[in-house]
Structure 1
Amino acid sequence: MKRAMYRNATIAAATGLMLAAGLGLGLAACTPAQDGGARKAQGGSSPSAWNQTPVIEAAQVDGREVRLSGSAQPGARIVLRSAAGAAYAAVAGDDGRFDLRMEAPAQDLWLKPETQVGQDAAASPDTLFVPAGGQGPIAVLRAGGPTRRLDRAPALGAIDSDGQARRLAGRTAQGTQTLPVTVGEVSLQAFPDAAGHWNIVLGPEASGDQIVIGDEVFVWPGRGEAGGQTPRRERAAEGWRVVWAEGGALQTAWLPDAR
């Protein structure tokens, strides 16, 4: 059996975002906004490079309500925008924490997080995916980075692919130092961060579709068909395949069912 070792980038490094300190939830509001897609600041100026883009850290579904929480610049207005123009907003507290509540969408919803501080607006590179009715995987997607599951996920949270490489990502118990992963006939080691998040970029030798993490076995169903509507969610083996485009490049993430 071939053996290889990959040191994964942590979720914090992959997102390149500083998380705000503090554990308390800030004062929040959730209101549909009438304005359209992401904008530059008033007067045509570019978004400030100093504004911290929001980080969605957790999601909870309670009946017909989806509660999202995370961190942003203290006192900033956080807006989640869809391409269709629908928007949801919250305000971060003095500690940078925010709590946003929204009604579970009737259809799959794709949202771009944005921070507004004064006249400046800073858009996140992430895309938040919320499934219809809040039923199914809720995830933060990023082109070139690991998908981060916010719902209850198995040992393997996602397999991302851009047609050139695959990235495995998930979460394990806090304090875990190493996590053995087997892909086909290749044995790897993941190195979780302090929160238990891990991800591995597979090399060409790890070509198998069967993935073993601990005592759990997963079979990647592939990237699927390149055509069709984007963004979209479709059933694929024992999970969901999410397909979207970022910067003109087609991205896919396979999200295994919770076990």
Structure 2
Amino acid sequence: MKCRIIVWMALSLMVAACSNGGRRVADDADAAEPSAWVQPPHIDGLSRDGQTLIVRGGAGPNARVVLRRANGEAVAGTADAAGRFELRLPALSGDVLFRPEVQVGEDAAVAPETLVIVQGGTGPVALVAAGQPSTRLDAHGLLETVDFDGKALAASGQSSGGLPTVVVDGVRARVWAGGGHAWRAMSSDAGARSLTVDGHVFSLPDLNGGGSLTMRRAGEGWLLTVPVAPKGHQTTWLPDIRP
């Protein structure tokens, strides 16, 4: 499998340098056609009201936002005029995966991320997408996610003291800011066993998962393996958040 995480990291660093000069100039026929593109939803927040999880995010104005499970069960709501939405999830049990989408008639604009809820919400809650670093929603800490696609390892977390020093199996990793107090780091160590953030050591579980969808307790955290076309997989470790 191509190294999807490396490609994503490279693109994220290049995007600030891109300009409109590389875009094709539309002709009159193109300009006359209305845009058929519908903005998929983007989840950016999570809160709790007792045992109820409340998912928040953005979409198009007045869009019909749906969180859909593989078995067809769904939670739906409508975004406001500014595109903001809030969905209250029913009581959940076990490990649950939702695909966020905007429903347009019988069609849907599906987000690239999957909303992963571990142990009905008593465990981690995160957004996971193939080839991209995962995003933790339930809590923030020094180390929040570790993603591995078989070739590259990407880690992320929060640090209030500037960019942390991240070391993977004794080798210092490249670190950059992810917005706010967030940081991201990357390593090409395919067999990493430990990750150190500002002197705090995290023992990594075996990240070489199989090809099927699995979720299990691994070390001091939860390990999720997601199949990626055509024959690959991505493994995400969601460590227990340290205070």
Larger RCO, structure (CA 8 Å, separation 6 or more): 1
Partner of 2:82: 95
Matched, 1:252 2:235: yes
Matched, 1:107 2:107: no
CA distance in 2, matches of 1:55, 1:132: 23
Flag structure 2 segments of 5+ consecutive residues without an equivalent: 1-5, 16-34
Matched, 1:123 2:123: no
CA distance in 1, matches of 2:141, 2:193: 17
Q: Note closer, same or farther for the CA distance 1:52–1:222 as it changes in structure 2 (3 Å cut).
A: same
Q: Number of matched residues?
A: 215
* RMSD, aligned CA: 2.7
Q: Deviations over 1:121-149 (max 9, x none)?
A: 21111110012231111000011000100
Answer yes or no: is the 8 Å Cα contact 1:52–1:122 preserved in 2: yes
SS in 1 for 2:120: helix
Matched, 1:234 2:216: yes
Answer yes or no: is the 8 Å Cα contact 2:143–2:241 preserved in 1: no
SS in 2 for 1:132: helix
SS in 2 for 1:95: coil
**Superposed structure 1 runs of 4+ greater than 6 Å apart:** none
Partner of 1:40: none
Greater Cα offset, 123-132 or 214-223: 214-223
Partner of 1:182: 167
Matched, 1:61 2:48: yes
Q: Deviations over 1:71-109 (max 9, x none)?
A: 111111111111111111121111111111012311211
CA distance in 1, matches of 2:198, 2:163: 11
Matched, 1:136 2:123: yes
Answer yes or no: is the 8 Å Cα contact 1:9–1:200 preserved in 2: no
Partner of 2:176: 191
TM-score normalized by structure 1?
A: 0.74
Flag structure 1 segments of 5+ consecutive residues without an equivalent: 1-5, 17-47
Q: Deviations over 1:19-53 (max 9, x none)?
A: xxxxxxxxxxxxxxxxxxxxxxxxxxxxx762111
